[in-house]
Amino acid sequence: MSEPTDTPQTWLTRYLPYRRQAEIGFWVAVLSIHMLFNSITAWIDLRTAPFVQPLIWELSSALTVGVLIPALLAFERRFPLRWDTLRRHLPWHLAGTLVFCAVHVLVMMALRKAAYAMAGASYHFGNWATVLAYEYLKDVRSYVLILCAVLSYRLLLLRLQGEARVLDAPETAAGAEPAVPPARPERFLVRKLRKEFLIAATDIEWLQAQGNYIGIHVNGHDYLLRSTLADFLGQLDPARFVQVHRSYAANLDRVAEIEPLDSGDARLRMKDGSQVPCSRRYRAALGGS
């Protein structure tokens, strides 16, 4: 069943090639605006202090948080916050707020001391216990807001991009012999923008690991399925689907051309025009090409 054309899908298709740049730009913009507003507010409160002083304070804090955001996202991928994992992983994130605050304060103070020293002055941060308690209250809020923004953004992309799952085995009538599940799934159910449709396993062109999901590329569209690449490949026909990269697998029936590279790696040109990287350690899976 072909997927109907829709405006959100068109927007998503244009957005995905620039997703990485957009995500980095978002955090740079958010931290810059937050830094500027806080600097102006602190400067107004101090009245007699030069503007550069609160600017140094807020800039050092924003730079440190910016460095910590990728680490926080990696930590959330390791301990994902979902309903089924909340009780098990929430204590890890409570401990994570302590580490987040400690690193934030240490790096922020080091940057402030260095900036003041370059200006021929000295920076005094006061009592450590008071500073840590004050900063922890702010850092817990920052930690939660960052995670809320990331999880909301991820949910939005999931709704737009579509989520696939293996079809459930058919239920058997009472007293009847249970149906033997197929060795490998033949079709997948995709939910997207309140619509449902089926895709055949043989229509999958290539797969890409994406954190807690794998991206399934089918007829120019990408859908997400919650699984690891290795686990999902174990459900597909090994004569057809092979891993060609640490993060990619390809349907050999959909490979149009193998382009060797000087590094020893290769590039797979698929019949739909897309390209898939192939590292040299996996090239043997292509039949010795």
pLDDT on residue 30:
95
More confident residue, 233 or 6: 233
Helix (H, G, I), strand (E, B) or coil at 256: strand
Predicted confidence (pLDDT) per residue in 131-185, tens digit: 889 999 999 999 999 999 998 988 787 777 776 666 544 444 444 454 444 456 7
pLDDT on residue 228:
84
Q: Looking at residues 266-272, what average pLDDT do you find?
A: 90
Q: Which residues sit opposite 241 in a β-bridge?
A: 251
More confident residue, 282 or 102: 102
* CA nearest to 125, candidates 100, 143, 107, 98: 107
Mean per-residue pLDDT of the chain: 83
- For the segment(s) 187-286, the CATH number from 2.30.110.10, 2.60.120.1440, 2.40.10.120, 2.40.50.1020 is 2.40.50.1020
pLDDT on residue 79:
86
Q: Which residues sit opposite 217 in a β-bridge?
A: 206, 222
pLDDT reading at 101 higher than 90: yes
Q: Looking at residues 75-81, what average pLDDT do you find?
A: 85
Residue 90 pLDDT grade (very low, low, confident, very high; cuts 50, 70, 90): very high
What percentage of the chain has pLDDT greater than the value 70? 84
Helix (H, G, I), strand (E, B) or coil at 267: strand
Predicted confidence (pLDDT) per residue in 107-129, tens digit: 999 999 999 999 888 888 778 88
Residue 190 pLDDT grade (very low, low, confident, very high; cuts 50, 70, 90): confident
pLDDT reading at 219 higher than 60: yes
Residue 25 pLDDT grade (very low, low, confident, very high; cuts 50, 70, 90): very high
Element containing residue 139 per DSSP (H, E): helix 128-161
More confident residue, 162 or 55: 55
What is this structure's pTM? 0.64
Angle (nearest 5°) at CA 223 between 219 and 229: 105
pLDDT on residue 287:
64
Residue 1 pLDDT grade (very low, low, confident, very high; cuts 50, 70, 90): very low
**97-102 contacts, C-beta under 8 A, 24 or more apart:** 97/136, 97/139, 97/140, 97/143, 98/136, 100/68, 100/72, 100/139, 100/142, 100/143, 101/132, 101/135, 101/136, 101/139, 101/140, 102/132
CATH 2.40.50.1020-classified regions of the chain: 187-286
Write down how long the chain is. Answer: 289
Helix (H, G, I), strand (E, B) or coil at 191: strand
**11-15 contacts, C-beta under 8 A, 24 or more apart:** 11/160, 12/157, 12/160, 12/161
